[in-house]
């Protein structure tokens, strides 16, 4: 079984990024940062998502992120699928916080049910085959639109078409340069068809 231990964001200022993420999301060892000056511009081809239990939790996370310096891309709102919003962290990473529930069931709490990495793929079917060949199992698949992989440990993985993912995030799909992202897992080192880098978990350390 493929186990994704953590996500590493490559940032210009690790200390500032660590402070932001500790204040906004508090993801402990699932999220790491390290310094990078690699050029990047526009949409970096991925989003990070927290799935929570109720709308009040969505608001609590998004308010904390905005207070810590994030920029709102999509204010929290109800939709046919639930309730959620999108922000962009000071380092440029895009975060969505959402719930399938439309009503609160208790006091607001900074608690999440899952932490999901969504990769924007040029060809979802090709990327799906690539990941299956690397030991991941498919939990849900909707043709060429969306793929969700099965048990991957602390971090879940899903694929969207790049255009659809950018639209969901509220940004233009164009982007160039480094993804500034590394996935630390038990499946070794490789680069996927869209240029996303995977590395052994022990290499994913903060600097």
Tens digits of per-residue pLDDT, 60-93?
999 999 999 999 999 999 988 899 999 999 999 9
Q: Is 15 left (phi over 0), alpha (psi -120 to 50) or beta?
A: alpha
pTM equals 0.94
Class of residue 79 by CB neighbours under 10 A (exposed 0-12, middle 13-18, buried 19+): exposed
> What would the pLDDT profile of 106-155 be if each residue is shown by its tens digit?
999 999 999 999 999 999 999 999 999 999 999 999 988 999 999 889 99
Structure tokens at 112: 């999440």
> What would the pLDDT profile of 131-144 be if each residue is shown by its tens digit?
999 999 999 999 88
Cα 48 to the center of its chain, rounded Å: 2
């Amino acid at each position: 079984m493929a186990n994704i231990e953590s996500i590493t964001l490559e940032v210009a200022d690790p200390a500032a990024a660590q402070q932001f993420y500790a204040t906004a999301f508090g993801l402990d060892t699932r999220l790491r940062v390290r310094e990078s000056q690699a050029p990047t511009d526009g949409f970096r081809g991925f989003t990070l998502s927290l799935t929570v239990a109720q709308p009040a939790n969505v608001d609590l996370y998004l308010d904390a992120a905005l207070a810590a310096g994030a920029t709102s891309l999509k204010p929290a709102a109800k939709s046919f699928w639930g309730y959620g919003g999108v922000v962009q962290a000071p380092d440029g990473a895009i975060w969505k916080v959402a719930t399938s529930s439309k009503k609160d069931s208790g006091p607001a709490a900074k608690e999440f049910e899952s932490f999901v990495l969504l990769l924007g793929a040029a060809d979802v079917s090709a990327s799906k085959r690539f990941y299956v060949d690397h030991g991941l199992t498919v939990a849900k698949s909707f043709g060429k639109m969306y793929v969700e992989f099965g048990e991957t440990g602390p971090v879940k993985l899903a694929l969207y078409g790049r255009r659809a993912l950018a639209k969901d995030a509220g940004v233009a799909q164009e982007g160039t340069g480094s993804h500034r992202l590394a996935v630390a897992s038990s499946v070794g080192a490789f680069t996927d068809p869209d240029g996303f880098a995977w590395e052994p978990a022990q290499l994913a350390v903060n600097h």
